Structure 1
């Protein structure tokens, strides 16, 4: 069974790039996000919308809750799937289902570092709750898109090899 790419589409700047890579690798995609978004806007005319042996794309609209898309994605994950997300918590949950995760800037999350990532996220959130400030993300650059595309292709190819 081929891996599926799941895109956490809430504020995802690389949805189009993820779809292009999936088309090239001939793997299915599920775009998940808040039901108030027009998730179908990312789908090209002619893209198959029902499961086939190659590339197809579907949308998964969820409620407005803050983690609704994350939990919906986790419920659908299978071993070898790939999750595109900015959310470290979702990346951690993906590992629990045997899936892989990549950030929108091309950072591949690993089991070796996810605990530290979660710890840093917790400490920064704690600091903000106490009135402190943390630095925001750097501006999104073309290099981020290129790194994302390269690393997503590598993750998908690794998953395809493992499934064979």
Structure 2
């Protein structure tokens, strides 16, 4: 059975993710650093020391083939994909081998623009509709993985 791993530092859809996982009887592990202590009944929480990418490395060390990660971090998503996992962001975008290179390049390019003193667009303000779209896409991903596992395609 796949497990759900949530990169919870700054993740706006933790409750929605847990709701869907519970409906489908999937294990959830929430990863956060000491600045974002998250404790939720019935959910395992892994708390790591603050530090650059500390949560990412703790999470990717737990990932197994077929597990699902919720993250907005392209670098973490790339590591999850490399281990045979699935990754989706808070807006319902599934990271795939077809889109991850372009996303990583865009992140790198925007970082170079900011380092040179330029400005880049930030994310749009979060809406209930965005949460609804995430729930729909996340549930669909989970069901697809569960159906493939039942059919031996996992």
- Aligning the two structures, in what range does the TM-score lie when normalised by the shorter sequence? over 0.9
| 2:44 paired with 1:58 | yes
What does 1:5-84 correspond to in 2, within 5 Å? 5-40=4-39, 43-44=40-41, 47=42, 57-84=43-70
- Give the match for residue 52 of structure 1: none
Post-superposition CA distance 1:46-72 (Å, at most 9, x none): x3xxxxxxxxx2001011012111111
What does 1:1-164 correspond to in 2, within 5 Å? 2-40=1-39, 43-44=40-41, 47=42, 57-164=43-150
Shift of 1:15: 0.2
- Relative contact order (alpha carbons < 8 A, sep ≥ 6): 1 or 2 greater? 1
- Give the match for residue 53 of structure 1: none
Q: Which runs of 5+ in 1 are unaligned?
A: 48-56
The two structures, once aligned, show a CA RMSD in angstroms of 1.0
Name the count of aligned residue pairs: 150
Q: TM-score, normalised by structure 2?
A: 0.94
Shift of 1:147: 0.9
Shift of 1:113: 0.7
Secondary structure at the counterpart of residue 92 of structure 1: helix
**Equivalent residues of 1:81, 1:159 under 8 A apart:** no
Shift of 1:162: 2.5
Q: Which runs of 5+ in 2 are unaligned?
A: none
Where do 4+ consecutive residues of structure 1 move more than 3 Å?
Answer: none
